[in-house]
């Protein structure tokens, strides 16, 4: 792999998963890691600091103390990332649902796309260990989002993505208002409106085995409203 990449990993209470994830990521030459921790009560931030110290300068930690939230964490991480000389900026979850093994494929696909989605819903993609209820929720969410927003990707809610740095840098983050997982949909919508080429690469998504999910009813409510808000506000970048 000859492109350099910075992987932004938001964390909240991921003390068991994070060391395994970082190990897998740093196996890839040219890959660096930026952990954005939301002051996790379980001490993930301190564990991340230890990993960073042992990383030969390839990993850093941003400790957030402002209003918590996945969307806000991504905004802070992206602001740092777009100002650095990496070819590609990636996003992924810390809970090992996103296998670092797929990363080179996603990065390589940025040769021909501005944003590449690690997708569960294209040919070759798969989900391991999700209960039927969770599968249905994700399927329904994607149909709902695609119908309301007219976005074309099959997997609009995947948090495993790689961007060309200039493409990500061209999005106006100050306009993003989502706090939770809807932030991912908002990013894709803005990218699509900005004319970015969006590609999907199949991944096998594995349900977390360690730690706890943060999917709450407030987050689900925001996810139901966001597609309509995006369409209504005609979210565009200058």
Rg (CA), the chain: 16
We find the least distance from the C-beta atom of residue 112 to ligand GTP, in angstroms, to be 28
93 binds ligand GTP (CB under 6 A): yes
We find the least distance from the C-beta atom of residue 44 to ligand GTP, in angstroms, to be 8
Q: Give the contacts of 233 (CB within 8 A, at least 6 positions apart).
A: none
We find the least distance from the C-beta atom of residue 43 to ligand GTP, in angstroms, to be 13
Distance CA 13, CA 44 (A): 6
| Closer Cβ to ligand GTP, 102 or 114, answer by number | 102
69 binds ligand GTP (CB under 6 A): yes
37 binds Mg ion (CB under 5 A): no
The 8-class DSSP code of residue 165 comes to H
Handedness of CA 14, 178, 224, 125 (dihedral sign): negative
Q: Which residues pair with 7 in a beta bridge?
A: 33, 90
Distance CA 9, CA 74 (A): 8
| Closer Cβ to ligand GTP, 13 or 110, answer by number | 13
138 binds Mg ion (CB under 5 A): no
Residue 172, classed as helix, strand or coil, is coil
91 binds Mg ion (CB under 5 A): no
Residue numbers at the binding site for ligand GTP (CB under 6 A): 10-12, 14, 36, 38, 68-70, 73, 93-95, 97, 181, 208, 213-215
Residue numbers at the binding site for Mg ion (CB under 5 A): 93, 95, 97, 208
């Amino acid at each position: 792999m000859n492109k350099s990449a910075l992987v932004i990993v938001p964390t909240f209470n991921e003390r068991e998963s994070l060391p395994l994830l970082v190990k897998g990521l740093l196996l890839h030459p040219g890959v660096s890691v930026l952990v954005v921790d939301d002051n996790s009560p379980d001490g993930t931030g301190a564990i991340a600091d230890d990993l960073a110290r042992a990383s030969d300068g390839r990993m850093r930690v941003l400790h957030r103390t402002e209003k918590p939230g996945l969307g806000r964490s991504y905004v802070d991480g992206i602001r740092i990332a777009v100002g650095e000389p990496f070819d590609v900026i990636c996003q992924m979850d810390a809970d090992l649902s996103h296998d670092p093994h797929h990363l080179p494929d996603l990065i390589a696909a940025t040769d021909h796309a501005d944003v590449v989605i690690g997708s569960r819903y294209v040919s070759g993609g798969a989900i391991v260990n999700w209960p039927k209820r969770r599968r249905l929720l994700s399927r329904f969410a994607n149909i709902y989002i695609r119908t309301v927003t007219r976005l074309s990707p099959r997997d609009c809610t995947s948090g495993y993505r790689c961007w060309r740095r200039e493409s990500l840098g061209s999005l106006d983050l100050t306009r993003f208002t989502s706090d939770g997982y809807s932030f991912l949909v908002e990013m894709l919508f803005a990218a699509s409106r900005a004319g970015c080429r969006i590609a999907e690469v199949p991944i096998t998504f594995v349900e977390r085995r360690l730690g706890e999910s943060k999917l709450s009813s407030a987050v689900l409510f925001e996810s139901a409203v966001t597609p309509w808000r995006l369409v209504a506000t005609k979210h565009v970048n200058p």
